[in-house]
Amino acid sequence: DVQLVESGGGLVQPGASLRLTCAASGFTSIDHYMDWFRQAPGKGLEWLGRSRNKGERYSTEYAASVNGRVTISRGEYRNSLYLLMNNVKSEDTAVYFCAKDNGHWAFDIWGQGTLVTVSS
Amino acid sequence: IQLTQSPSFLSASVGDTVTVTCRASQAVNNYLGWYQKKPGRAPELLIYAASTLQSGVPSRFSGSGFGTEFTLTISSLQPGDSATYYCQHLKGYPITFGQGTRLEIK
């Protein structure tokens, strides 16, 4: 089965760092553009950033709202995608999703999401 | 590029046909997708490239449009269609979503 599974969420203190993992199975994630998204409670979907494929050297793009605090990277031998966020704030409380770009300007495979709660 | 969906809320009955509109602040060619989002679940891709039905999605779902105006049409509404629907563009960065349209099945 083709699937993505996020992990690493939980309770995080303001100002701390968090690292989320997106484990892919059933396909080779390094061949695809992969992205991170989030949905804050009661809010809509928000794009955070992307990692292009291996052929494009995993180059990245980030949303302005998190640029400078977020780094997206790959675990090539673990078929995984990572999100590192520094200096987390209460407004970073959300369910975080990873997704695979289908090559046609949309995202066809999504993880189930991992909840991050920023609170002291 | 901002995407504006209308309406924000829709209430319809089983068997009805409904249409959701997504307007882009700049032309996005056909680089637009539609998603269904239910609470506690991952978004599900319904339509990509504005009008192409994602594999496994019922043909009751259809999309159209190009440039700045797009529509998602759901025919023969079923109870399981109750969800929030989002449009999303991928013409450059940042990738953005519409604010969502919540569909209630009476």
The string of pLDDT tens digits covering residues B45-63 is 999 999 999 999 999 999 9
CA distance B49 to A104: 6
Which residues in chain A touch residue B54, judged by CB atoms under 8 angstroms apart? 106, 108
Which residues in chain A touch residue B52, judged by CB atoms under 8 angstroms apart? 104
Q: Mean pLDDT, consecutive 10-residue segments, chain B of 106 residues?
A: 98 98 98 98 98 98 98 98 98 97 97
**Residue A45: which of B30, B41, B97 has the nearest Cβ?**
B97
Position B3 scores a pLDDT of: 98
State the average pLDDT over residues A90-116: 97
Residue A29 has pLDDT above 90, yes or no: yes
**Residue A108: which of B45, B88, B94 has the nearest Cβ?**
B45
Please count the residue pairs, one from chain A and one from chain B, whose beta carbons lie less than 8 angstroms apart.
67
Instruction: Report in angstroms the alpha-carbon separations of A109 from A60, A102, B91.
Output: 19, 8, 20
Closest CA to A3 of A23, A30, A33: A23
Position A76 scores a pLDDT of: 81
The string of pLDDT tens digits covering residues A55-99 is 999 999 999 999 899 999 998 888 999 999 999 999 999 999 999
Handedness of CA B2, B89, B64, B7 (dihedral sign): negative
Strand order in the sheet with B69-74: B3-6, B18-24, B69-74, B61-66
Q: Are A26 and A1 in contact (CB under 8 A)?
A: yes
State which residue of chain B sits closest to A104, comparing Cα positions. B49
Which residues in chain B touch residue A61, judged by CB atoms under 8 angstroms apart? 93-94
Mean pLDDT of chain A, nearest integer: 96
Handedness of CA B19, B25, B27, B31 (dihedral sign): negative
Q: Which residues are CB-neighbours of A37 under 8 A, at least 6 positions away?
A: A45, A46, A47, A48, A96, A97, A98, A99
State which residue of chain A sits closest to B36, comparing Cα positions. A45
Identify each DSSP E strand in A32-102 by its residue range.
34-39, 45-51, 60-62, 70-75, 80-85, 94-101
Is A99 touching B (CB cutoff 8 A)?
yes
Q: Which residues are CB-neighbours of A82 under 8 A, at least 6 positions away?
A: A19, A20, A21, A22, A72, A73, A74, A75
Q: Do A110 and B93 touch (CB under 8 A)?
A: no
Q: Do A45 and B54 touch (CB under 8 A)?
A: no
